[in-house]
Structure 1
């Protein structure tokens, strides 16, 4: 849920449900295998973060995942990909039902990702930023052998600092440009976006990852916006100074991550394009979805290995996704064998 303020600036409603699932259960929701269901849409960059982190940490067998379709109406995300249009675990047609089960008068955004308590059918949280951190910090008893440290203690302050700027100017910045209500508001968001992307390019010119020499939460958060940049944000949101493919350092960085297990194999370009172009009728009234861009570039060599770094540190890559969670081949370029 969002609105445009009187000066024409897009403002995101960040009143999320702050309940946390923790190892000690202090909010009434202890970490328990099989108890919760992560509801996502592959179209959504905020949800895509949780899909990536869940997979990198190997939590698939303890935290099930429901996948909503790429489009929604004013009433919320629907499970139109599932037989009968119902989530097979929760038995609901719309994510809205889980929110109303806990808060009958809920008046904020019905957003993904959301974690639902399966026994009660009630939403626990939709605080996307905290969800991925808690998967790293609170679910450690169930991490796979070889799971990476995505939020290591000695790097947290730096990760938080990088994440703050990336959220304001890039993750949310593309929306501030795309939904701006005045020329001035749009140009301010545009300038902040590309100023931050230029700074990130400079940072990444001499190091493989954003913080430290391994993949962290910071890389996950930037990647999901970069993955959508040329397909959606460049044209649909008027972020058109440069395509990602025209920014050499960021393009190589994004390809490096895309070719790393857990990133590209969770990215569904068909769902991404259908969501933005079909749902945002205020800025795309016809609902026509573009055929492009050509996705083959995502699989070209990136050369980032020369900067050193180890994607998973002392850990190992995750196993391939299960058949039920595999992105349809037509929705993504085929991943090369031995990619890492």
Structure 2
């Protein structure tokens, strides 16, 4: 697999730089000598200490600059574009989480709709070489056809979060068409890894185990018709983004959308069993979760399964990390970071 080099003469603006994927992407670009401007509002959706720890790692690089900015404030976003004149923008700032969107819908409209509109407006008024933004596998809803392909109809979202991400794709298409902005949307599929998001199931399960609590599994205890997830290791995700950055859409097709997933869905229970084994190796003792089975939650979908053929054809990339390898890296990091032995 030949690398597609990133142009280090470009200035990259990464929104959500203190977030999980934003941190890893910023770090990868900085390691290659790029100039990275990171912005984040560092909200308290999950532990802000983790966000600060990520930022502190990025601040070790001299070519990294950080602004604490909320993308829902248009004047502040415009000021960042005026000050730094970014060539390439990666919008990863968003209010994440399917279940949380049912409890706090306002957060999703402000960040995911208003915030993304502000990014598009900034790119319109301060032209960029390429805008890449985070969409989500959630846009596929309860699509019965698998694997999910970018050509599938995605008009029936199962959650407000999914609806905001579908809205982002429509907004991006319109701005790209009207103002000739080269834009690429990436539909992420269940990203995991060290320094990840504590609201994600694998991370939450681990926290509950060390707190002596039971974990809740929302599949009714149905092992035959278990939930399937296309778990994708963060390094694979970042490599995919990095490759996409260098290939902006053309004027004839100025907005493209790609799936970026593992193309190999796993049963949720297999994933949990693997996590137990990885934590056992990391701690040196047998780890078994105390499991409570409950019905699937409102807004959740039974299967996520990405076809990654388009991405592979466009940039020669296909994820490679197995769940055994990825979860072991997470388990080793977690035990060390939290001194959990």
Fold shared, TM-score > 0.5 on shorter chain: no
| TM-score, normalised via structure 2 length | 0.31
| TM-score, normalised via structure 1 length | 0.31
Write 1 or 2 for the structure with the bigger share of strand.
2
